[in-house]
Amino acid sequence: MLSRKNLIYFIVLFLVFFRPPLTKANESSPQYTVEKLISSISKLKIGIPLSLEEIEKNKHLSSRALALLDLEEVSQKSLGKHWEIRTSAEKIRFHDLLEKMFVKEAFPSSGKFFSKLKLVYGKTAIKKLQANVPITVIHEKEGEISINFHLKNNDNRWQIVDVDLDEVSMRNNVRSQFYKIIAEKGFREVIRRMEEKIIEIKN
């Protein structure tokens, strides 16, 4: 079982999301968006080899999960001040790699690890086009962990843009890591490490 420190590190790296049972939340509500995302990733099949049917189903579930994230904003906020100075090609490459990391690592790994945890939803807070969906994760050994999903309303559609773990923003933590890499070795090193990680996952 992962220690609390390793659990936090895992979530920071991959912006992980968790699995609750579906409730009767309104289909246009922020909570329903979170539930739908979590339901999708929890159904992903993990293991080798997978049948062609399982592979196709995983693709469908991953696509449905990705649609519930505002990956454009996540990409921009993850690079912060370094986003605007990137070329169009660099922005597209970074976005594509981030998407692959969600599909290849974050979604299946988090769905598997948290599948048996008890999750308790708090009261959703909505302010104009922003919303927060709080969840308490009940872990047998680690105790209670507070999760807060941040969502944004885009054209009457709620999408997830960030997750707080015990009041610490996962997106901000990832951005800090990217800033450090860029300061020491440049943006190309960020891309190289992401590409390397995806190759490792494929293997």
pLDDT in tens, 30-53: 999 999 988 888 888 887 788 999
Asked if 127 and 143 count as a contact pair (C-beta separation under 8 A), the reply is: no
Give the integer Cα–Cα distance in Å for 189 and 101: 16
Homologous superfamily of domain range 26-202? Tgt2/MlaC (3.10.450.710)
Strand 130-139 with 168-169, pairing: unpaired
Please give the sequence-ordered ranges of beta strands (E in DSSP) within the chain, or none if there are none.
Answer: 118-121, 125-127, 130-139, 143-153, 158-165, 168-169
**Strand, coil or helix: 125:** strand
Give the integer Cα–Cα distance in Å for 53 and 70: 28
> What tokens appear for 133 in the block?
């969906």
Give the integer Cα–Cα distance in Å for 179 and 183: 6
Quick one: pLDDT band at residue 10, thresholds 50, 70, 90?
very low
Residue 103 phi, psi dihedral angles, 5° rounding = -70, -45
Give the integer Cα–Cα distance in Å for 54 and 60: 10
**Residue range 189-201: average pLDDT?**
93
- Is 80 exceeded by the pLDDT of residue 15? no
- Is 60 exceeded by the pLDDT of residue 5? no
Locate tokens 């649609």: which residue? 67
Give the integer Cα–Cα distance in Å for 138 and 120: 8
Give residue 11's pLDDT: 47
pLDDT in tens, 149-187: 999 999 999 999 999 988 889 899 999 999 999 999 999
Domain ranges of the chain: 26-202
Q: What is the mean pLDDT of the chain?
A: 85
Give residue 84's pLDDT: 96
Asked if 148 and 138 count as a contact pair (C-beta separation under 8 A), the reply is: no
pLDDT in tens, 107-134: 887 766 656 677 889 999 999 999 999 9
Q: The pTM is what?
A: 0.82
Give the integer Cα–Cα distance in Å for 179 and 146: 26
